[in-house]
Structure 1
Amino acid sequence: MAQKKNSAFELHIKKAIATITIDGVMDETDWQQAEVAGNFFMVLPMDTSHAKVPTEVRMTYDAQNLYIITVCNLVKPGPYMVESLRRDFAFGKNDNFIFFIDPFDDRTNGFTFGANAAGAQWDGALYNGGSADLSWDNKWTSVVKNYDDKWVFEAAIPFKSIRYKKGITTWGINFSRLDIKEAEKSAWAPVPRQFPTASLAYTGNLIWDAAPPDAGTNVSFIPYVLGGLNKNFDTHTKPEYRKDIGADAKIALTSSLNLDLTINPDFSQVEVDKQVTNLDRFELFFPERRQFFLENADMFANFGYTSIRPFFSRRIGLGVPINYGARLSGSIDKNWRIGIMDMQTKTVDATGLPAQNFAVLALQRRLFARSNIKLMLVNKQSINYQPGKDTTKPTYSLYNRNLGLEYNLASANNKWTGKAMMLKSFTPGKSNNDFVHAANLQYTTKKWIVAWQHEYVGKNYNAEVGYVPRNNYIKLNPQVSYLFFPKKGKVLSHGPLVNSAYYFNENFHQTDNESFLAYKFNYRKQNTFMAWVAHDYVELLKPFDPTNSGKDTLATGTQHRWNAWGTEYVSKPQKLFTYGFTTRYGGYYADGKRLNITADLGYRFQPFVSITLSTSYNNIDLPKPWGNTNFWLIGPRFDITMTNKLFFTTFVQYNDQQKNINLNTRLQWRYKPASDLFLVYTDNYYPAPLSVRNRALVLKFTYWWNM
């Protein structure tokens, strides 16, 4: 096994001899005697020197918690730069300190915690060697204290809140600091600028004076009670009143293996999806946000590619209540990880949908330095159901199964990454051409990115619990980009990117191609600009309405070619007012024209209020019967964060294409760590004339109880 790149960077941690108070004041004797991790390395704008902005980190522990205190010194006096006190903030828009722990030292999975300079918390689960899932949420406490010349972050992470292997005395760890005024990102253990500071391949070592304490009995019970009402104004029916109770439970079978249980789960507090104007021929993807599905989610959700996912948890409970579910997930040892999930949904008499069981098995074996091989089995089964027995109701499949094998490549220094996979589906009445093969390989350095990806999806491949919007194709996708680094000036780096995606049918007849040439400028103040040109070719495989508005369709087999150009810009984050825009102009289907302009505006009254406005305008000029079509999508959002425990969000979305206005407001009070009170109000309106379609109000109370 290759030695870790930054194994020489060591921070020794000793057990505390006295009580640590989380108050942002470094007055305890244990802090004075703790070893200091300092002398950070600059990552951005360049990775060739030590950081200009000094940072010092100390760690200790006791029988219950892992403690950390960080002094983030300032070079220039002045106010910090943050969006708000909202949890899991946007990394690049906040002065922040974040750290990454790799409890198995496998350079693949771990956890991240931190805060911005105003005290907003950040936590997430790390997977794939450095990707962060910020939807992961657990119990921990922190305080940020501000001074004229520095800000101090202090936190306690309960051992019960993380997963680690008993007896291991070396963990991977790294610390990351972003100071927006200085436009500097730094890390304790050096990380090449082309990789995120979360890259576990570049962690240093946290050396324990003894094995971390056993978390002991680790059982959490998380009940909820809910009341609410729904009113449908279209059907003129009476309001429907809701009274629900349910619960989740977390049982640590070992310090690294967890059993999650849920009964009658409710996800009404989950934030609404950000809408888009849909001009695509295929189904759009919206990420999972429900908490139950998120711990160790990479074991289930990251098998495959962006558009080839044999398992997509949002298929479970889609328009149907979930009765109960269980998930066993975590690490068996340093080399083996496992994920088992079983969910049971209810019947829906109105549509004849039977009760269904969803079962998933994922097994992962570590190979070499940071690579792994994974096996996945997905089974969807209808319970006590005979397809076609009731001719007045839709017919549903009796079962659908997927079996897959995947190899993930990640070199010790992260320069080489890739994946190779095989999938086969099993569905009644469908056989032959029901498998998938795909692979990719990417080489990444400071200046070069060279990548290749190919995919084959058979015409009878079927993943009813997955996200595979397209089948019956072969795809070839090369990509190359290069960066130049001027020695001085406002531009930090610039360079071209070439990407081309070719689609063929099983007879290798070309059906699609998009060739894309871009040139990007990265500035020292972190603003970016890109200009691009593209050529598209599409042979329609089925009828398609190019406006997705129900006017008419273009015929199967018709061929369409066009050229387009566009720009993208993101402003520097140092200002209270930030903005970004994209433009696109050029050809479209049926020799038409399409103009698209998007704008994202933001203003912050830090740290309490953040206002953003996302706007998209599409003008599509086509021959009759479509003619000239205009689509607006406008989404103002107001985040009011009274404290880092009390949040109020209002999100309005006007979607011209769907002829709908959506209003979603949510008040969240985190009265104790991981325990919340939610008040959620939702309206949907017809825009013209303005009238209510439906309305809902929900009050939900959750409590995290450690038994």
Structure 2
Amino acid sequence: MKVFRLIFLWLVCCTSLFAQKKNEAYQYHIRQTTSPVKIDGELDEQAWLEADTATNFYMVLPMDTSFARLRTDVKMTYDQQNLYIIAVCYYDPLASARKNRPFVQSLRRDWEFGKNDNFIFFMDPFDDQTNGFTFGANAVGAQWDGLLYEGGKANLSWDNKWYSVVKNYDDRYVFEAAIPFKTIRYKKGITRWGINFSRQDLRTTEKSSWAPVPRQFPTASLAYTGTIVWDQAPPQVGSNVSLIPYALGGLTRDYANDKPTTYRRDVGLDAKVAVTSSLNLDLTVNPDFSQVDVDRQVTNLDRFELFFPERRQFFLENGDLFTNFGYANIRPFFSRRIGLGVPIRFGARLSGKLNKDWRIGVMDMQTGKVDATGLPAQNFAVVALQRRIFSRSNIGAIFINKESLNYEPGVTEAGKPVYSKYNRNVGLEYNLASSNNTWTGKVLLLKSFDPQNGGKRNLVHAANLLYSTRKWNIGWQHEYVGSSYTAEVGYVPRRGYIKVNPIVSYMMFPKGGKVLSHGPQLNSYSIYNESFKQTDNESIFLYLITFRSKSVLSVWTGHDYVRLLQPFDPTNTGRDTLARGTEHRWNAFGADFISKPQSLFTYTLSSRYGGYYANGTRLFLSTEVGYRFQPYVSLALSANYNEIRLPETKSITKFWLVGPRIDLTMTNRIFFTTFVQYNEQAKNVNLNARFQWRYQPASDIFLVYTDNYLPGSLSVKSRALVLKLTYWWNV
């Protein structure tokens, strides 16, 4: 604990050295318009003739030492209902019209940033350089929207009502949008917001921004935003209540267990109530998430549980307050634990800003009981509080309570599992972020409470510090998770360990040639038990080469050591297991390549070969190939192959994971996706076909068909069909 306190004090001192907003000098003065604005991709309205222009963008990539080659002009204005923006993105004046055609994946919203010509912008309504919103479109009009958290990470699963058009010309494309003030959260009376505009052009491989951003950071980095200066405080929108009802019909058949077809007829309601312009109350009754994209399957050779991200809309706005508390493998709260095979009856979530310095999140969810397994009805309650300190850092606290209602663990039916009466977690963390983003870090302390735990070894503490410049990346992280720590609503796949993880990388930039940057990276972690005896070590030396075409090559070699704490099947196929306490060491090497995104045909290649458990060997080959008939059709095929040879058990295991995908985007409102996944390890073939029609902003019709088959015979295991209608109604 003494070391923990010293690190905490050091991080506080580091933060206090950086207090000034980096790009304060970049200011855009926005004025209210008295004339109407039509969202049509035209600059002919009087409002645009009178608005100021943000231009002279800076290059971010390939190199951040000059102005951008391509011209981009941005104007903004507003009225009492909407914030308006128009961006004119000019092509290379020396290139022909044919060469200036845009590169895009499709018309599907929330596209992959690196594979699309695009214009996006980032708003920080509290100018706290930590949280905000992002909106934009690719060059053919597919929308992008998301929430910004932790200073510049984007959660694109967030969805809300706004309007945009992209119009194409021979020498430019024009993006125009209206963002309702009811869509974003901001505090009454604040007249200075953070803002930055970003443009990517794949033909020239140029990424640029209005306020300059160092190339090692994303243009979404809120530490480098400029400032919108309002001519008066943004308007208050009055009552802001949205009702989002749904109606659903469906059928399901379990062929594997020879059960008859079951029919579904459900209705439910979500509601969004703006308690203030920066504080939102989300309510849900009988929610359904059947339209959510299917998880991409993976080959599981891990000894611990895998992580899959949350995709359900209800949990997303200000979700970082809850789900980003902790580290990637130490999450005291993980929303996918709620409603996992259990009906959610109702829930409420209050989240947002109290003022520029304080954020709050309160959530309460109620699930129903499941008689077949004896699972009782349960209540999930979470309270999170965050206080900004210095320029961009914050202190956060969290309390999590999972409680089984009307249930006594000692009184259960024979043959049914025993569940806990309650599980609670309380935590405190300090998040460091210097004003220029060079220093980032976190210090974490957690404690769990449950009836089975006597209070010993139920603590977690961890800390990390990362120093990032254009050339250097130097970091340190350590973790301690007690053997009795429990987080039943969290994601903590491993307990009873101490981990140390240093990392260092260096990047070099040639002045010419095909290589843009190259350099080495060393990453090593060691894991010890609570007696400080080593149980794991992995050390990887990697060399990364980025080409000016934006293709990327990396080669690596590594060494692993594992001392098994439990019996383990290294193929995860139910074969022979290796004994607890056995030690395993091996070396391996591999290479990865990502092709340039400008081509209609794109691909990635990945390989690994070397030792494995029990003096065995593992060969891994993976690829993902894609072809697009832009912007309407995108075809993709992912495939990976594993071959594991274990001399001690005289076994050879081979399995494939193959996933073809067809993405058809007839307009930027009508989408059809078919995704097939053949998982030889899991002995399953999954087919998921999803049709979506966004008939109004944030209102959809979904038709989802799902099949599961046995490999080989392709006999049906289960089948489901769901039709769902949602409607977003602003009261």
Gaps of 5+ in 2: 1-17
Does residue 90 (structure 1) correspond to residue 112 (structure 2)? The answer is: yes
Does residue 204 (structure 1) correspond to residue 226 (structure 2)? The answer is: yes
Q: 1:258 aligns with which of 266, 280, 284?
A: 280
Q: Distance in 1 between matches of 2:655 and 2:232?
A: 62
Structural mapping, 1:121-136, within 5 Å:
121-136=143-158
Contact 2:589–2:609 (CA<8 Å) still a contact in 1? yes
Q: Distance in 2 between matches of 1:72 and 1:603?
A: 26
Does residue 23 (structure 1) correspond to residue 40 (structure 2)? The answer is: yes
Q: 1:525 aligns with which of 549, 559, 572?
A: 549
Contact 2:615–2:648 (CA<8 Å) still a contact in 1? no
Contact 2:386–2:396 (CA<8 Å) still a contact in 1? yes
Q: Report the counterpart of residue 85 of structure 2 in structure 1.
A: 68
Q: Report the counterpart of residue 512 of structure 2 in structure 1.
A: 488
Q: Report the counterpart of residue 456 of structure 2 in structure 1.
A: 432
Residue type of the alignment partner of 1:561: R
Q: 2:389 aligns with which of 351, 363, 367?
A: 367
Q: Report the counterpart of residue 595 of structure 2 in structure 1.
A: 571
Q: Report the counterpart of residue 614 of structure 1 in structure 2.
A: 638
Q: Distance in 1 between matches of 2:534 and 2:563?
A: 8
Q: 2:700 aligns with which of 671, 676, 699?
A: 676
Please identify runs of 4+ aligned residues in structure 1 that moved more than 6 A: none
Q: 1:180-238: CA deviations, max 9, x gaps?
A: 00000000000000000000000000111110000210000000000000011112221
The structural deviation recorded for 1:652 is 0.5
Q: Report the counterpart of residue 574 of structure 2 in structure 1.
A: 550
Does residue 315 (structure 1) correspond to residue 352 (structure 2)? The answer is: no
Q: Report the counterpart of residue 460 of structure 1 in structure 2.
A: 484
Residue type of the alignment partner of 1:417: T
Q: Distance in 2 between matches of 1:391 and 1:454?
A: 43
The structural deviation recorded for 1:17 is 1.2
The structural deviation recorded for 1:108 is 0.2
Q: 1:121-164: CA deviations, max 9, x gaps?
A: 00000000000000010000100000000000000000000000
Q: Distance in 2 between matches of 1:573 and 1:53?
A: 19
Q: Distance in 1 between matches of 2:230 and 2:89?
A: 24
Q: Distance in 1 between matches of 2:240 and 2:663?
A: 35
Q: CA RMSD in A?
A: 0.7
User: Aligned to 1:167, what secondary structure does the other structure show?
Assistant: coil
Q: Distance in 2 between matches of 1:24 and 1:624?
A: 68
Q: Report the counterpart of residue 55 of structure 2 in structure 1.
A: 38
Q: 1:447 aligns with which of 471, 494, 500?
A: 471
Contact 1:552–1:626 (CA<8 Å) still a contact in 2? no
Contact 2:545–2:554 (CA<8 Å) still a contact in 1? yes
Residue type of the alignment partner of 1:73: Y
Q: Distance in 1 between matches of 2:501 and 2:586?
A: 19
Does residue 349 (structure 1) correspond to residue 382 (structure 2)? The answer is: no
Residue type of the alignment partner of 1:518: L
Q: Report the counterpart of residue 640 of structure 1 in structure 2.
A: 664
The structural deviation recorded for 1:391 is 3.6
Does residue 249 (structure 1) correspond to residue 249 (structure 2)? The answer is: no
User: Aligned to 2:47, what secondary structure does the other structure show?
Assistant: helix
The structural deviation recorded for 1:262 is 0.1
The structural deviation recorded for 1:388 is 2.9
Change (3 A) 1:685 1:624: farther
Q: Which moved more, 1:614-623 or 1:113-122?
A: 614-623
TM-score normalized by structure 1?
Answer: 0.99
Gaps of 5+ in 1: none
Q: Report the counterpart of residue 379 of structure 1 in structure 2.
A: 401
Q: 1:409 aligns with which of 409, 429, 432?
A: 432
Q: 1:558-591: CA deviations, max 9, x gaps?
A: 0000000000110111110011111000000000
User: Aligned to 1:590, what secondary structure does the other structure show?
Assistant: helix
Contact 1:551–1:625 (CA<8 Å) still a contact in 2? no
Residue type of the alignment partner of 2:319: A
Q: Report the counterpart of residue 3 of structure 2 in structure 1.
A: none
User: Aligned to 1:643, what secondary structure does the other structure show?
Assistant: coil
Q: 1:590 aligns with which of 603, 611, 614?
A: 614
Q: Distance in 2 between matches of 1:289 and 1:470?
A: 24
Q: 1:6 aligns with which of 5, 18, 23?
A: 23
Contact 1:551–1:626 (CA<8 Å) still a contact in 2? no
**What is the number of residues matched between the two proteins?**
707
Q: Distance in 1 between matches of 2:485 and 2:532?
A: 18
The structural deviation recorded for 1:625 is 4.0
Q: Distance in 2 between matches of 1:234 and 1:621?
A: 32
User: Aligned to 2:268, what secondary structure does the other structure show?
Assistant: strand
The structural deviation recorded for 1:626 is 5.8
Q: 2:713 aligns with which of 674, 689, 702?
A: 689
Q: Distance in 1 between matches of 2:672 and 2:186?
A: 35
Q: Report the counterpart of residue 493 of structure 2 in structure 1.
A: 469
Q: 1:392-431: CA deviations, max 9, x gaps?
A: 2110000000000000000000000000000000011112
The structural deviation recorded for 1:623 is 2.5
Residue type of the alignment partner of 1:125: L
Does residue 479 (structure 1) correspond to residue 503 (structure 2)? The answer is: yes
Contact 2:614–2:648 (CA<8 Å) still a contact in 1? no
Q: 1:663 aligns with which of 687, 702, 705?
A: 687
Contact 2:361–2:384 (CA<8 Å) still a contact in 1? yes
Contact 2:614–2:647 (CA<8 Å) still a contact in 1? yes
Residue type of the alignment partner of 1:288: E
Q: Distance in 2 between matches of 1:318 and 1:514?
A: 33
Residue type of the alignment partner of 1:146: N
Residue type of the alignment partner of 1:542: Q
Does residue 706 (structure 1) correspond to residue 730 (structure 2)? The answer is: yes
Q: Distance in 1 between matches of 2:654 and 2:450?
A: 42
Q: 1:444-499: CA deviations, max 9, x gaps?
A: 00000000000000000000000000000000000000001111111011000001
Structural mapping, 1:26-175, within 5 Å:
26-75=43-92, 76=95, 77=97, 78-175=100-197
Residue type of the alignment partner of 1:62: D
User: Aligned to 2:276, what secondary structure does the other structure show?
Assistant: coil
Q: Distance in 2 between matches of 1:386 and 1:2?
A: 53
Contact 2:643–2:653 (CA<8 Å) still a contact in 1? yes
Q: Distance in 1 between matches of 2:322 and 2:180?
A: 26
Contact 1:474–1:508 (CA<8 Å) still a contact in 2? yes
Contact 1:5–1:201 (CA<8 Å) still a contact in 2? yes
User: Aligned to 1:629, what secondary structure does the other structure show?
Assistant: strand
